[in-house]
């Protein structure tokens, strides 16, 4: 019996800042021990097979559980095309970050938009909850 192949590009979660799937991917987490990040928790979710495409969402949370940074990366074409956003969270609630598009040797950065900042806030919350349900966060 042949197994049906579904290209990653058809999955709703296989785009930058998309809602995380409940039952796909692998969650990982580690607690940092060295200064200055002792007690911080790094959590990441890997989606895709790395060949047809890959999405990796990574965040770091301070010892109280507040996000300190987050990144979302979508890679296609065996990694030759990548789109990512990464940002750090300030204690006053502001987010500073960069959106990158890499196509082969061509790199195009720009500051993140308010919409992307809001999506990153939501993604940080969702990632922590999603990976906690897997026992990783």
Q: What is the pLDDT of residue 3?
A: 39
Residue pair 97/84 in contact (Cβ under 8 Å)? The answer is no
Q: How far apart are CA 21 and CA 117, in angstroms?
A: 20
Q: What is the pLDDT of residues 42-98, one digit of tens each?
A: 999 999 887 778 999 999 999 999 999 999 999 988 788 999 999 999 989 899 999
Q: What value does the mean pLDDT take over residues 31-47?
A: 93
Q: Is pLDDT above 60 for 7?
A: no
Considering only CA atoms, which of 50, 51, 54, 72 is closest in space to residue 127?
72
Q: What value does the mean pLDDT take over residues 124-137?
A: 82
Q: What is the pLDDT of residue 133?
A: 67
Q: What's the mean per-residue pLDDT of the chain?
A: 88
The percentage of residues in the chain with a pLDDT greater than 90, rounded to a whole number, is: 65
CA distances from 89 to 9, 29, 51, 100, 127 (A): 30, 19, 32, 18, 15
Q: How far apart are CA 98 and CA 66, in angstroms?
A: 20
pLDDT-based confidence at residue 6 (cuts at 50, 70, 90)? very low
Chain-centre distance for alpha carbon 29: 13
Residue pair 45/123 in contact (Cβ under 8 Å)? The answer is no
């Amino acid at each position: 019996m042949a197994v049906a192949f579904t290209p990653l590009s058809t999955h709703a979660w296989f785009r930058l800042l998309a809602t995380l799937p409940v039952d796909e991917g692998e969650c990982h987490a580690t607690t940092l021990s060295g200064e200055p990040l002792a007690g911080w928790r790094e959590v990441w979710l890997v989606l895709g097979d790395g060949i047809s495409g890959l999405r990796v969402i990574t965040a770091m949370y301070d010892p109280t559980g507040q996000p300190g940074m987050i990144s979302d990366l979508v890679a296609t074409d065996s990694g030759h095309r990548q789109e990512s956003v990464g940002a750090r969270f300030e204690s006053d609630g502001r987010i500073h970050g960069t959106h990158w598009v890499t196509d082969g040797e061509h790199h195009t950065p720009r500051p993140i938009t308010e919409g992307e900042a809001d999506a990153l806030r939501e993604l940080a919350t969702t990632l922590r909850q999603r990976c906690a349900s897997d026992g990783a966060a």
